[in-house]
Amino acid sequence: MVKVVKFGGSSLASAKQFKKVGDIIRADKSRRFVVPSAPGKRSSDDTKVTDLLYQMYDAAGDKAKYSKIFTQIRERFEEIIEGLGLDLNLDDDFRRIEEDFVHQIGRDYAASRGEYLNGKVMAAYLGFPFVDAAEIIVFHDDNTLDMAATNAAVAEHLEGYDRAVIPGFYGAKKDGTVTTFSRGGSDVTGSVIAGAIHADLYENWTDVSGFLFTDPRVVENPEVVDTITYLELRELAYMGATVMHEDAIFPVRREGIPINIKNTNRPQDHGTMIVSSTCKKPKYTITGIAGKKGFCSINIDKDQMNSEIGFGRRVLQVFEDNNISFEHMPSGIDTMTIIVHQSEFMDHEQQIVAGIHRAVHPDSIVLESGLALIAVVGRGMKDQRGTAARLFAALSHAHVNVKMIDQGSSEFNIIVGVKESDFETAIRAIYNIFVLTQI
C-alpha cells in the first residue's frame, strides 16, 4: 500500500509539532511520500512563515526592516532544526534566497521558500530523499497547472524513489520560473502527487479531526462527518466549507483515490473519509451545512414572461456583457430572480438595470442587498421524505424568513437565501433539527 501524506502549517509550526509528524509517519511504513507546508502559527499572536516571506520581499528597499524580518525567518527554522537535534545547515539556501529577493525575481518565488526550506528540514529529519517541487509540478505560462506535463514529470521522476519529501504549494513553468498555487495550495500538491503515482490513499493532516458538519464559529463543537462523497464536499466547499483547498479534489477524484482528513494532534481519531461513492448509510439525513454572506438579488417582474421566447437568455446576456456571473436563478410564471455576489454587482448596478430594461422591458425591477445563502447537503436526502418540510419548519420556529429556495435535480442539496442578520440563527436552527434533535 502507498500513501501520500500532506501536513499543514499548524502541524509543522515548531520542533514539537515536527516530532508528532515524525511519529505519525514512522508508525505506518506505507506513508512514503510526504508533502509539507511552511511553518504556521505557533500561537494566536504568531505570524506564519509565508506571511513573513511576503513582508520580507516587499521590504527589499528598506534595509533595516528587511534584515529584521530575515532574522525572524532564519530563527524560526534554526529553532526547529535545533529542537530536532539535526545536523543540518541551511546557510547556502538562505544566501541564495537573500540574493534572489534583492533581485526581486518574483513574489511567487518568495512565498514558496517556506515550503522549500521546511521540505529540506523534513527530509533530513525523516532520512527521506528531498525532491524539489519545481522539478515536477509544471505550470502553464498563464499560471494554471499543466496537469498532463505534471503527471508525466511526477511519474517519471518518482519512479526510482521508494519514499520522498516533496514541498507543497509551488512548482515552476517550463522556463524555470517558480509559480505557486493559491493559499492552501499544498493540499493540491499532495493530491496531484497521489493521482500521478496512483497512490492507494491521500492523507491530509491538519489541526481538526476531520470535516465538521458546520462552521464551529457558528455552532459550538459541531460533530465530525465520518464519510462524505466528493460531490457533497464540492457543494459544501463552494459555499464556504474550508477543510481543504477546493482544487485538491479533482486529481484524486479522477483516479478514484480516497482522501482521509486527519488530526496531527489526535492521530488516533478516525477523521473523515472523502470517497467517490459509498453504500455506507450516513448517520444523519444531511452531511453538512455551509453558507456565505454578501449576495444580492435582482427581482424582475413582467406579465406573461413565460410566453416570451428567449426572455431568460436576453436577461442573462446583460450580466455576461458586464462580466458578472450569477449564482442562482429561481423563477415563477411572471417573475425571475438573479442572485449575484454583491461586491461584483455594485460597480455595474445601474448599467445592468438599464440593460435589462432595454433587453426585456420589464414591469418592474427590485434590488435587494444583504442576503446570505445556506447550502444543506446530504446523500441521505435523496430518498428521505419530509426533508424540506423539516428544514423550513426549523427556520420558521427560529423566526427566520426565507427569501429564496433552490434545489437541484440531484436531490442532495437545498439552498436557501436569508437576510444576513439571520445567517447564524438559520444555521443553528438547521443543525439542531437534523443533528441534535433528529426530529
In the chain, the percentage of residues whose pLDDT exceeds 70 is: 99
Whether 78 is covered by a domain: the verdict is: yes
- Same structural domain for residues 265 and 296? no
Residue 233 lies in a domain: no
**Any domain includes 213:** no
Question: Each residue of 356-388: pLDDT tens digit?
Answer: 999 999 999 999 999 999 999 998 787 778 888
262 and 145 both lie in a single domain: yes
Tell me: do 253 and 309 sit in the same domain.
no
Q: Give the pLDDT score at 357.
A: 97
∠377-381-383 over CA atoms, to 5°? 155
Shared-domain flag, residues 267 and 350 = no
196, 316: one domain = no
Q: How confident is the model over 388-426, as pLDDT tens digits? A: 899 999 999 999 999 988 886 667 889 999 999 999 999
Question: How does pLDDT run across 285-313, given as a tens digit for each residue?
Answer: 899 999 999 999 999 999 999 889 999 99
Same domain, 340 and 421: yes
Question: For position 7, what pLDDT does the model report?
Answer: 96
Query: Which helix (H) or strand (E) element contains residue 297?
Result: strand 288-301
Check if the beta carbon of residue 246 is closer than 8 Å to that of residue 187: no
Place of cell 530563527: 75
Could you tell me if 8 and 138 lie in one domain?
Answer: yes
DSSP state of 282: P
Q: Do the domain assignments include residue 238?
A: no
Both 26 and 149 in one domain: the answer is yes
According to the model, what pLDDT value does residue 236 have?
Answer: 87
d(CA 436, CA 439): 9
User: Where is the domain boundary, 275, 296, 328?
Assistant: 275
What's the pLDDT tens digit per position in 169-199? 999 999 999 999 988 888 999 999 999 999 9
Residues in the chain: 439
Domain assignment present for residue 64? The answer is yes
Q: Is residue 269 domain-shared with residue 292, that is, in the same domain?
A: no
- Whether residue 15 is found in the same domain as residue 59: yes
Count of domains for the chain: 2
Pair 302, 334: CB distance under 8 Å: yes
Cell (9 digits) for 226: 465520518
Residues 254 and 292 in one domain: no
Q: How high is the mean pLDDT of the chain?
A: 92
Which positions of the chain have pLDDT values less than 50? Answer: none
Phi and psi at residue 409, in whole multiples of 5°? -70, -15
Indicate whether this model's pTM tops 0.75: yes
What is the pLDDT, as a whole number, of residue 439?
Answer: 54
Residue range of the domain that includes 167: 3-208+243-275
Residue 366 lies in a domain: yes
CATH number of the domain encompassing residue 259: 3.40.1160.10
How many CB atoms are closer than 10 A to CB 422?
20
* 338 assigned to some structural domain: yes
Domain identity same for 258 and 394? no
Reduced to 3 states (helix: H, G, I; strand: E, B; else coil), residue 22 is helix
234: in domain? no
The CATH number assigned to the domain holding 324 equals 3.30.2130.10
